[in-house]
């Protein structure tokens, strides 16, 4: 049999290839390929070859050869009907068998859609897995059995299998694997980031297997996929990996290829990928299934990406801060990205990128209230009447006031400050500058993700370094309140903001109107922040003016 193979690969950014020519050979066939030297990602060369698939790694480049038996078609199927959209369901949407049944009904209630389904782990499984891992580090091998979270996860998934009426065998291997892994962690007495990612992957691997088995049971043909097996290729930044370009053709090839042979609904694990260098399972950061969904949307050029949550779309503020938050009907990709980046849990911070690149609308819907219109996110929208869209709060932020001691000129000062951040690998969030001083906040997600001791050392080093050229004030426990909206109307927004803050006796410690044109950020003390958000919400969204 002759199979047509497509070759693609990923070159590590910034690395020169030691060899421009790679040679492959296996089972009676061999061929070589010249690698483009400049591009970070290449996708090249079609070969006829007797082998079906082989994987080659060399020092600076990884190359996957994927089976392809037919010339690449666009998204079409045996019966000529293409996949139409992605439907992603978060943990809250699939927290029990009952919810999975409702989600299945929901999917079937759109007979004109031929969706790719992306699922997160059931309910709070990811948190429980992490907790179980932490306990395993200290509890001793003989006590792993009695880790409460392990029993909870086992019971949750086995009960779900029973209630869905599917064979428990679909998840038994994973439950056993999880148990073994926890024993391993407990023997090693350590939980590395790499192991954490492997550990949490069990959640999505099991939820998708259960759901796919259920769809098949009710007569709706489905096929389960582990994202890390179908070409989700990522950086090796365990717990916070980024999707690499090579993912798009690979994912498209597998999903479209399989669909064209048999119209089985693809059910894909959210959140997971495979490190391009390590080949180990990676995760895309908490809430990463949104990014899985938008990546598939772009890879397949689908009409729409739907993310189904437990709220009526993106809301005017976090409903946990103010339950009266209202749903926002329209957003641009830029607004949604800014909102997610500045802390709105509802969307993964990087999830808008593939949707924006592919210009694919994202619809945020409520699986508990499917008739609610939700939020539609597109490239542009009518901003003529838009003032403020949403208020976002990011807590526990560290702020630095850095005032030049005038040992350096203005240019030298700014350059030195930012070089210091670069050298120490610390990300900055919000910045406001004057000629001789800078106020800025440090990205808490990056900083607080690190071990406490490392964090404290890093801050000490940072201050020490900056004190060579400046007087530095380190201010902890601050909050960023981000006002997402039409910055063209900033005077109007700020007028109202300062009225509200003044009447609430709140002092703003820093203010920044970013280049994004959709965000004004205010820094206040942590303890005043929630009250501020509520007052601002009431002024902007609950009065007529």
Ligand X SMILES: N[C@@H](CC(=O)OP(=O)(O)O)C(=O)O
Ligand Y SMILES: Nc1ncnc2c1ncn2[C@@H]1O[C@H](COP(=O)(O)OP(=O)(O)O)[C@@H](O)[C@H]1O
- Contact residues toward ligand Y (CB under 6 A) are 90-93, 120, 287, 309-311, 314-315, 317-320, 344-346, 390
DSSP secondary structure code for residue 15 in this structure: P
Residue nearest to ligand Y (CB): 90
Q: Which one of ligand Y, ligand X, none interacts with residue 288, CB within 5 to 8 A by kind? A: ligand X
x-marked contacts with ligand X along 41-80 as a string, rule CB under 6 A: ----------------------------------------
Q: How far is the CB of 123 from ligand X (least distance, A)?
A: 8
Binding track, positions 256-285, relative to ligand X; x by CB under 6 A: --------------xx--------------
Judged by beta carbon distances under 5 to 8 A according to partner kind, the member of ligand X, ligand Y, none in contact with residue 248 is: none
Cross-strand bridge partners of residue 394: 480
Task: Provide the token pair at 201.
Answer: 């992957």
The answer to the question of residue 126 lying near ligand X (CB under 6 A) is: yes
User: Quick one: what does residue 270 bind among ligand X, ligand Y, none, with the CB cut-off 5 to 8 Å set by partner type?
Assistant: ligand X
> Site residues for ligand X, window 457-486 (CB under 6 A)?
none
Beta bridge partners of 470: 404
Q: Which does 442 bind (CB under 5 to 8 A by kind): ligand X, ligand Y, none?
A: none
CA-to-CA distance for 56 and 140, rounded, in angstroms? Answer: 39
Query: How far is the C-alpha of 72 from the C-alpha of 84, rounded, in Å?
Result: 18
Cβ-based burial of 4 (10 A; exposed 0-12, middle 13-18, buried ≥19)? middle
Minimum CB separation from ligand X for residue 126, in Å?
Answer: 3
Cβ pair 391, 481 in contact under 8 A: yes
CA distance 283 to 32: 33
Q: Does 91 bind ligand X (CB under 6 A)?
A: yes
Question: Could you write out the DSSP letters of every residue in 430-459?
Answer: EEEE-SSEEEEEE-HHHHHTS-HHHHHHHH
In whole angstroms, give the CA distance from residue 426 to residue 439: 15
Minimum separation from the CB atom of position 363 to ligand X (A): 15
What would the 3-class secondary structure string for 388-415 be?
A: EEEEEEEEEEEEEEEEECCCCCHHHHHH
Binding partner of 310, given ligand Y, ligand X, none, CB within 5-8 angstroms per partner class: ligand Y
Residue 322 CB, nearest distance to ligand Y (Å)? 10
Q: Which is nearer to ligand X, 118 or 139 (CB)?
A: 118
Sheet with 330-332, strands from edge to edge, namely: 222-225, 265-269, 115-119, 85-89, 304-309, 362-366, 375-378, 330-332
| Binding of ligand X by 349 (CB under 6 A) | no
286, interface contact from ligand X, ligand Y, none, CB < 5-8 Å by kind: ligand X
Q: Which residues bind ligand X (CB under 6 A)?
A: 90-91, 120-121, 126, 203, 270-271, 286-289
């Amino acid at each position: 049999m002759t199979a047509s193979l497509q070759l693609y690969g990923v070159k590590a950014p910034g690395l020169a290839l030691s060899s421009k020519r790679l040679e492959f050979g296996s089972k009676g066939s061999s061929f070589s390929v010249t690698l483009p030297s400049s591009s970070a990602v290449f996708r090249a060369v079609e070969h006829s070859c007797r082998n079906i698939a082989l994987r080659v790694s060399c020092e600076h480049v990884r190359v996957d050869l994927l089976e392809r038996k037919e010339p690449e078609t666009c998204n079409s199927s045996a019966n000529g009907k293409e996949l139409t959209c992605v439907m992603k369901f978060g943990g809250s949407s699939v927290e029990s068998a009952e919810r999975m049944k409702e989600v299945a009904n929901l999917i079937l209630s759109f007979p004109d859609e031929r969706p790719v389904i992306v699922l997160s782990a059931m309910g709070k499984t990811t948190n429980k897995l992490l907790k179980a891992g932490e306990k395993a580090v200290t509890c001793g091998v003989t006590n792993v059995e009695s880790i409460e979270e392990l029993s909870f996860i086992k019971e949750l998934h086995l009960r779900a299998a029973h209630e869905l009426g599917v064979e428990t065998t679909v998840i038994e291997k994973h439950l056993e694997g999880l148990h073994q892994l926890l024993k391993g962690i407990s023997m090693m007495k350590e939980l590395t980031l790499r192991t954490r990612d492997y550990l949490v992957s069990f959640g999505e691997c099991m939820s998708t297997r259960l759901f796919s088995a259920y769809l098949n049971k009710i007569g709706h043909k489905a096929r389960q996929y582990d994202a890390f097996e179908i070409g989700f290729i990522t950086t090796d930044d365990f717990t916070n990996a980024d999707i690499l370009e090579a993912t798009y053709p690979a994912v498209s090839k597998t999903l479209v290829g399989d669909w064209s042979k048999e119209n089985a609904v693809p059910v894909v694990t959210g959140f997971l990928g495979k490190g391009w260098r390590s080949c180990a399972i990676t995760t895309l950061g908490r809430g990463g299934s949104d990014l899985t969904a938008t990546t598939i949307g772009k890879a397949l050029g689908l009409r729409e990406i739907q993310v189904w949550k437990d709220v009526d779309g993106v809301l005017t503020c976090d409903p946990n801060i103010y339950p009266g938050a209202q749903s926002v009907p329209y957003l641009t990709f830029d607004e949604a990205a800014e909102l997610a980046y500045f802390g709105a849990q509802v969307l993964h911070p990087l999830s808008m990128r593939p949707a924006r690149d592919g210009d694919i609308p994202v619809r945020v819907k409520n699986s508990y209230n499917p008739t609610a219109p939700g939020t539609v996110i597109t490239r542009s929208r009518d901003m003529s009447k838009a003032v403020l869209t949403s208020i976002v709060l990011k807590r526990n932020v560290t702020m630095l006031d850095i005032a030049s001691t005038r040992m350096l000129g203005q240019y030298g000062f700014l350059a030195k400050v930012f070089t210091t951040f670069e050298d120490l690998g610390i990300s900055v969030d919000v910045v406001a500058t004057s000629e001789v001083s800078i106020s800025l906040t440090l990205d808490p997600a990056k900083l607080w993700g690190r071990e406490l001791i490392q964090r404290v050392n890093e801050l000490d080093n940072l201050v020490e370094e900056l004190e060579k050229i400046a007087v530095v004030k380190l201010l902890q426990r601050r909050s960023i309140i981000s006002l997402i909206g039409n910055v063209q109307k900033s005077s109007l927004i700020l007028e109202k903001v300062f009225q509200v803050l003044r009447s609430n006796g709140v002092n703003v410690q820093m203010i920044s109107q970013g280049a994004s044109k959709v965000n004004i950020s205010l820094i206040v003390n942590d303890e005043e922040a929630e009250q501020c958000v509520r007052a601002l919400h009431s002024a902007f969204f609950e009065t007529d003016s």
